Every structure is written in structure tokens, then in C-alpha cells.
Chain A
Amino acid sequence: MATHAGESLKDPAVRVEGLHRSFSEAGGVLNGLDLTIDAGEFVALIGRSGSGKSTLLRALAGLDRSVAGSGVVDVPERVSVVFQDSRLLPWRRVLDNVILGLSGPDARARGLEALSEVGLEGRDKAWPHELSGGEQQRAALARSLVRDPQLLLADEPFGALDALTRIKMHKLLQKLYAAHNPAILLVTHDVDEAIALADRVIVLVDGVVGSDIRVDLGTKRSPGDPRFASLRAQLLAELGVVEEEVA
């Protein structure tokens, strides 16, 4: 992990203590969850459906005000969210979507810079529907980055993309992470994606952290690496998938 300013390492970007969230009387989705993410740390969050991944992410994004619950949630000032759908406003051109809500004379210039960073230079005047699915998600990434986030929350951002596009998007996300170094919480259902990208993989089980595994595979990670394979087997076991089933 890139370590720059020593002090930013000391302050955690995210601190969650005893987080409870429930949508009904029957039982909680999050049951006293504790989680700390360091500044500039890339954390992947996996778990079976219904394990509370999205609920946690929405709690961190402050999008769950109508949900019953308790606990401490401490997030930085600048938080950006990337959703599974690109969520571009269809009636605004790509650049206007990227700089949505920004003000100041340099907003457009910063927006254009962010667009070229995600490989969309020259598409600033396009309508969202004129972009492919992958390009729309690139624009959504540009919209997040232009706000210079200290924490980037991504809710299965590549889940709707085809396999080839997803690989390209992984490379792009790694490049952007190296350049801007925000803390990232990536919610995914793809174990390989989690291992390939993150410093730490957290498995959510029944609304608490089931396991918290550091990924020490260096920067060049290949699914052919035996350590990669054993980590994948371990994580899949945590998720309740026996190895023969996937082989």
C-alpha cells in the first residue's frame, strides 16, 4: 500500500462501532458491526445476499435516514458514491453530469480533466444514452473523482458489466486508486474481484464482520498464483461454497 503523509495513516477514514440496522421487528440486518478503514486503504466487502453489505454502504453514505438503528458512524467530510447503475442524469450531457453540484469557475476544467483521466476525453458533450455501459460507469467514476473524495464507496460498480469490460474497469480503478489514494470500500459479490483489487477483504456474515483477511499478494496479482487460489478457496468457504462446487 502506498504510504505518504504519516499522519493520514494514523487517522482512520472510517470508524464504525456497534452499528445496528433493521428493516423489521423480526431481526436486524446489521447486528452490532465494528469496522475501521484506514485512510487510503482499499477494502473489499463480500457476503452472501442479505448479509447486509448494501445496508452498511448506505449507512456510510448517509442514505439510510429512514432506517431504524443505532451505533457510531464516523466518515470523512468528502465521501463519493459509485452505484451499480451509473445513475447519470439522462437529460444532462456527460460533462454536466460529472460536475453536478460543483460550483466555481474551474468546475468545467476539473470535470474535463476527470473525464480524460477515465478515458472519456472528447465525450463531454455526449448524452448519457450515447455511451456504452462501460463508458457510463467511467463517467460515474469521473463524477466521484472530481470531488476529490477521502472515501470512495462503490456498491457493486462493475456488477452489470460484461467480463471483458469488467477487467478493463479493474485496471482503471487500480490506476485511479494509485493516483488519488482515497480510502475505498468496494462492495462486490465477486471473490476474484475482491482479491485482485483490495488490500483487505472483509466477509460479512449475519450483519457482523465474519472474517477480516489481509491480501498480501503484492501489486501484480494473477488468478494463476497458488496463493490467490488458496485465498479464493478460503473466502468461498467463508461464504458457504464448498470447493468442488466451483471447480
Chain B
Amino acid sequence: MATTAVEAPIAGVVSEGKATDKRVVRRRRGPGPRVAGTLWIGPILLLGLWFLASATGVLDPRTLSEPWVVVETAQRLIADGRLPEALATSAYRAALGLVIGIGVGLALALVSGLSRVGEALIDGPVQVKRAIPSLALMPLLILWLGIGEPMKVITIALGVLIPIYIHTHNGLRGIDSRYAELAETVSLGRGAFIRHVVLPGATPGFLLGLRFAVLNALLSLVVVEQVNATSGIGHMITLASSYGQTEIIVVGLVVYALLGLVADGIVRFTERKALAWRRTLESH
């Protein structure tokens, strides 16, 4: 059935190839099978348009630099070490904020998910914090911590903590109580219960939270790097902006995009490995 649908994807057409087969082949609901590589058509078209507009002079280089200038600039920035250095600084900030945020968020979710006292103490404040965008806290953090690295890392960590907490906590609370009953019948101790039931059961929630957390970390990174930064990709972009160097700005944006893609790829890969036990629509 599936193969016939691919052969004759048009709605309401009687398949013509086989005279004996008079079944009406109906189009499947949904967008139909995916064709490899089609995801790239849009971006490539857009790139081509940019190239064409720059080459014909329709696009003023002061608005947006020519693509070949951007490539040259990237090569130059890599060669003189400015880009690798800025990238290392930014990646370090994001990673440090991520690690701290994940650790704290996970610990809070476990304490709050496994005890009523913990929930009473932790859940409320986290929900209140959730209502305040992390970036709105920056003025206060700047007052407390100055404009140095601690402020930047903590702002990122605060943005990471919330989705990790919310989704892990949700995952914990969603664990089927029948498994707790089973744990009782096989006399699992507290530690073994956490190791065999709680942590694996909360993993899907945690990984979902992680994807939001990575996104938040990147967003916070961009913002904190524009506040009086003296290093990092954001600093490079801010500097270029004052000198009207659009080619450097574009290089910075591409680097941010690559950072995001790589981080998301790592999370997806982890997800596939850690959730091999799940039978989902995606895997089957």
C-alpha cells in the first residue's frame, strides 16, 4: 500500500499501470514522504539571491557585505587568531553557564520531586523566577556582580536552570506509580529506586529541558556579550558595528548559528543514545 501511494500520489486517481488493479489510490494524509536534501533548497536559494544582488550592485555593501568579502574576512579573522580567540571565550562562557545551570536545576528538581518538604520550599520560588525573564534580572546582577565574567556566567546559568528544573520535575512527577509499586514488591531500597526508576524515568523530561536550556544559554550569551564585553564573539560584533564593518558582523552571526547547531546536534545525539529504549513515532 505504501509503495503504491508513492507511485501515484495524486488524489483520486485509479492506478493505470496495472489493468487488473482497480483500487483507487488515495493520497496519504499529511505532507507525504520526505525527499532527501529538500531542506537545503530554501537556504541555497537565499544564498544565491544574496550573491546575485551583490554582484549586480543592487545590494549596497554598506547595508550587507558581498558574500565573497564575508568569506575572505572569515579567513583573515581565523588566520590572525581573532576569531578562534573570541570563539573560545564565548564557548567557555556558554559552557560554564550551562554546566552550572544544569547542575543546580537538576539538583533542585530532584529534591523538589522526591520530597514534599523540598517541593514546598523550592517549587514556588522557581515558578516565580520562571515568570521573570532571566535577562530582566541583568540590571540587578550588574549591580551585585559588576560587569565581569561572574555576571555573564550567572545570567546564562539562570536562563539554563529554569527549563532544566521545569522539565525534569515534570518528568519525575509523570513516572507511573505502578513502577513505585513494583519497586516495593521487589524491595528496592531508596538509592536503588532512584537509580533504576526515578532517574531513567525522568530522563526524557530532562533531555527536553536540555534542548530549551541550550537555546536559552545561547540567547543569554548574545545579550551578556553586548554589555560592555571586552572579549568574545559579541564584543567582535559590537566593535564591527561601530565601524560599519558588516562583513565582520555576518561572520559573527554565522559563528553564533554554528554554535547553536552544534549544541543542538550534541543534545539530539545524546537523546538518541539515552532514549534507545523508547519506541517513538520517530524511531519506527
Q: What is A's interface to B at a CB cutoff of 8 Å?
A: 61-63, 79-81, 83, 85, 87, 89-92, 100-101, 127-129, 143, 147
Contact = CB atoms under 8 A, between A and B. Distances in A.
A90 B278 contact: yes
A133 B267 CA distance: 33
Contacts of B187: 101
B186 A101 contact: yes
Contact of B279 (A62, A80, A129): A129
Contact of B178 (A61, A79, A87, A127): A87
Contacts of A129: 277-279
Contact of B196 (A61, A100, A143): A100
A61 B185 contact: yes
B184 interface: yes
A128 B179 CA distance: 14
Given A85-B178, A89-B179, A129-B277, A80 B196 contact: no
Nearest to B193: A101
B203 A91 contact: yes
Given A143-B186, A147-B186, A90 B178 contact: no
Contact of B200 (A63, A87, A89, A143): A89
Main secondary structure on chain B at its contact with chain A? Answer: helix
Given A89-B179, A90-B278, A101 B200 contact: no
B277 A81 contact: no
B184 A63 contact: yes
B188 interface: yes
B159 interface: no
A124 to B, nearest CB: 15
Given A100-B188, A101-B187, A89 B181 contact: no
Contacts of B88: none
Interface in B170-203: 178-179, 181-188, 192, 196-197, 200-201, 203
A101 B184 contact: no
Nearest to A78: B187
Contacts of B203: 91
A101 B277 contact: no
A87 B277 contact: no
In which size bucket is the chain B interface?
Answer: 20 to 34
Interface of B: 178-179, 181-188, 192, 196-197, 200-201, 203, 276-279
A127 B277 contact: yes
Interface residues of A, dominant DSSP: loop
Contacts of B277: 90-92, 127-129
Contacts of A100: 182, 186, 188, 196
A83 B181 CA distance: 10
27 contacts: A63-B184, A63-B185, A80-B185, A81-B185, A83-B178, A85-B178, A87-B178, A87-B181, A87-B182, A89-B179, A89-B182, A89-B200, A91-B200, A91-B201, A91-B203, A92-B196, A100-B186, A100-B188, A100-B196, A101-B183, A101-B188, A101-B192, A101-B196, A127-B277, A128-B277, A129-B277, A147-B186
Given A87-B178, A101-B196, 18 more contacts: A61-B185, A79-B185, A80-B185, A81-B185, A83-B178, A87-B181, A89-B179, A89-B196, A91-B200, A91-B278, A100-B182, A100-B186, A100-B196, A101-B183, A101-B187, A128-B277, A129-B277, A143-B186
A234 to B, nearest CB: 34
A160 to B, nearest CB: 14
B185 A89 contact: no
Nearest to A100: B186
A126 B75 CA distance: 50
Contacts of B196: 89, 92, 100-101
A89 B197 contact: yes
The CB with the most chain B CB atoms within 10 A, among A62, A80, A87, A91, is that of A91
A87 B179 contact: yes
Nearest to A65: B184
B181 A63 contact: yes
Nearest to A80: B185
B202 to A, nearest CB: 10
Nearest to A79: B185
A44 B31 CA distance: 54
- Which A-B residue pairs are the 8 nearest by beta carbons? A91-B200, A101-B186, A81-B185, A91-B277, A101-B188, A129-B279, A127-B277, A87-B182
A70 B186 CA distance: 25
Nearest to B187: A101
A91 B178 CA distance: 15
A85 B181 CA distance: 12
B120 to A, nearest CB: 21
Nearest to A91: B200
Contacts of A101: 183, 186-188, 192, 196
